[in-house]
Structure 1
Amino acid sequence: MQTHVVSAQQWEAARQQLLVKEKEMTHARDALAAERRRMPWLAVEKQYAFDGPKGKASLVDLFEGRHQLIVYRAFFEPGVFGWPEHACRGCSMVADQVAHLAHLNARDTTLAFVSRAPQADIARLKARMGWEMIPWYTVTDSFDADFGVGEWHGTNVFFRDGSKLYRTYFINNRGDEQMGGTWNYLDITPLGRQEVWEDSPEGYPQTPTYKWWNWHDSYVEGAAPDKRWVEVSDAGEAAFRKEQAGAKS
C-alpha cells in the first residue's frame, strides 16, 4: 500500500482543498433535490392490492395516513438466490441500511418494502434479520411491473392528496445505493426535508432547520419544538456560522 505521509499543516491544507469540491457537490445535490420537488406528477388511476401483516391492503393503506410514501421493491420470492432463507443479497444490504423510521414518519413520510413472498415468509425473514421495523407487504398483482420493478430493484415515491394518488419520483440501479438514511429518503420526496433553507415551491411545508429533530422514541404529533433543544441547536448553528465567517475573512 502506497502512502503519502505529511505534516499536520500539510494534511489540513490538503483537506481544505478537497473540502471545496465536497461543498460544490453538496450544493449540486441540494439543487438536484430542488428540481425533484418541481417534477411533474403522474396520477395513479389503477387500484392495487397487497397482502400485509393485518390482511388485505390497498396502495392507499401503505401510506398509513401520511401524505408521502416511499416503496422499495425487494426481491424475496421463489427463484431468487437465497430463497427461502434469505432475500436477494443486494436488497438485504438496502434493508440493513434503513435508519429508524420514526424520523421519516415525523416528516409525514412512510417507507414500505414490497416483495412477492407470502407474508409468513416475510415475517420469518424480518425476525431473522432484525428488520421488524420495516413495513413489508406482498405484491399480488401488476404493481411491480407497472412501476418499473418487475425484474429489478427500485424505489418509487408517491404522494397522497385525499384519496388521489400520484407517482412523483423513481430511482434504481446505483441510485438505490445511497438509500437508507433519513436525509437521502427525504431528498427524493416531493416535499423534501421541509426545512426553511430548502429551495421549494411556494406554499410547501417548511419548519426551522434542526428544530423538529428528536429522539426516535420521543416524537409526539403536533408537539412544539423542545425549548432546550432550540437553544442548543441555535447555539451550535451560531458557532458554525462564526467559524465559516472566520474562514472566509
Structure 2
Amino acid sequence: MTALPTVVPAEDWEKARAELLTAEKEATRALDRLAAQRRRLPMVRFGEYTFESPSGPVTLLELFGDQQQLALYQFMHTGPDHFCPGCTNFTNQVTDLEGLARDGMAWATVSDMPLDQMSGYWKQQGWTVPFASSAGTTFSADCGAGGGFLLNVFLRDGDTVYRTYSTGQRGVDRLMFVPNILDLAPYGRQEEWEDSPAGWPQHPTYG
C-alpha cells in the first residue's frame, strides 16, 4: 500500500501551511532578486550562423523574425535512431509562442541532428515549434552545450546579435509545466533523486 501524508486537524494543517507559505514567499523574493540581477547581465556579441530549416537555409538573425529577442533551445543529438527523452519532454511543454511574441520574443529550436531526422521527429510528435538543424556548424560548441541541451537567449540590435543569457540542466527544468505542478503535489515528481518521506512512490527519472 502506498504511504499517505499524516492526517491532522484543520488548525494544525493551517499552521503547517502558514509555515511553508513563509518559506515559499522567501523563495519568491529570492527569485525576484535573481531576475533583477539577470536583467542587469552584460551581453556578448555572437557570431553569424546559417542553419538548415524546412524552408531552406536560415541564419541566426532570421530566427528572430520581427522580434528583438530570441529564446533558442538546443535539442540534444543522441544518434540517428534515438531521441533525448528530456528534450522531448521539454519540447512537449513549449506552448503559447504567440504570447511570447506579443512581448517581443521569438522562440526556435535547433539541434545537431540532420534536418531530415528533425523533420521526421517533429511530424511524429505533432510539434509546431519552429526548428532548424545546426548540423555542420560550430553553434552548439560555441554555446558551450557540450553535446547536451541548452537554452540561450539572444538580443539583436539592428543586424547584430548578442547573447544575453544561457541555462541548462535544472535551469531548463524549472521552466517546465508538468514537473513544477507535480512539485506542488504530495507525491512530487515521484523520481528517485527527490527527498521524499519513507514509503513515497519513486522511480528513475527516465524509467
TM-score by length of 2: 0.79
Establish whether residue 96 from structure 1 lines up as the match of residue 69 from structure 2.
Answer: no
1:107 corresponds in structure 2 to: 103
Letter in 1 for 2:92: D
Query: 1:165 is paired with a residue of what secondary structure?
Result: strand
Query: 1:169 is paired with a residue of what secondary structure?
Result: strand
Letter in 1 for 2:131: W
| One of 140, 146, 152 as aligned partner of 2:142 | 146
Instruction: Give the Cα separation in 1 of the matches to 2:32 and 2:124.
Output: 37
| 2:70/2:107 contact within 8 Å kept | yes
| 2:74/2:111 contact within 8 Å kept | yes
Instruction: Give the Cα separation in 2 of the matches to 1:3 and 1:15.
Output: 14
Cα deviation, 1:121-146, whole Å, max 9, x if unaligned, reads 222211211222x1111003101100
Instruction: Give the Cα separation in 1 of the matches to 2:5 and 2:89.
Output: 31
Establish whether residue 136 from structure 1 lines up as the match of residue 131 from structure 2.
Answer: yes
| One of 168, 175, 179 as aligned partner of 1:172 | 168
1:3 corresponds in structure 2 to: 5
Cα deviation, 1:76-102, whole Å, max 9, x if unaligned, reads 3xxx26x43x52111111112212211
Establish whether residue 14 from structure 1 lines up as the match of residue 10 from structure 2.
Answer: no
Query: 1:98 is paired with a residue of what secondary structure?
Result: coil
Q: Equivalent residues in 2 for 1:155-166 (5 A)?
A: 155-166=151-162
Give the alignment's Cα RMSD to 1 decimal.
1.7
Instruction: Give the Cα separation in 2 of the matches to 1:104 and 1:9.
Output: 42
Instruction: Give the Cα separation in 2 of the matches to 1:110 and 1:178.
Output: 20
Query: 1:168 is paired with a residue of what secondary structure?
Result: strand
Establish whether residue 34 from structure 1 lines up as the match of residue 36 from structure 2.
Answer: yes
Q: Equivalent residues in 2 for 1:1-249 (5 A)?
A: 1=3, 3-44=5-46, 46-76=47-77, 80=78, 83-84=80-81, 86-132=82-128, 134-139=129-134, 140-180=136-176
Instruction: Give the Cα separation in 1 of the matches to 2:121 and 2:115.
Output: 10
Letter in 2 for 1:113: T
Cα deviation, 1:100-158, whole Å, max 9, x if unaligned, reads 211111111011111122322222211211222x1111003101100111322111110
Instruction: Give the Cα separation in 2 of the matches to 1:126 and 1:106.
Output: 25
Cα deviation, 1:134-185, whole Å, max 9, x if unaligned, reads 111100310110011132211111001111111001111221111246xx9x
Shift of 1:36: 0.5
Instruction: Give the Cα separation in 1 of the matches to 2:84 and 2:5.
Output: 37
Shift of 1:2: 5.5
Instruction: Give the Cα separation in 1 of the matches to 2:107 and 2:116.
Output: 20
Query: 2:40 is paired with a residue of what secondary structure?
Result: coil
Gaps of 5+ in 2: 181-207
Gaps of 5+ in 1: 185-249
- Aligned CA distance change for structure 1 residues 65 and 180 (closer, same or farther; 3 Å): farther
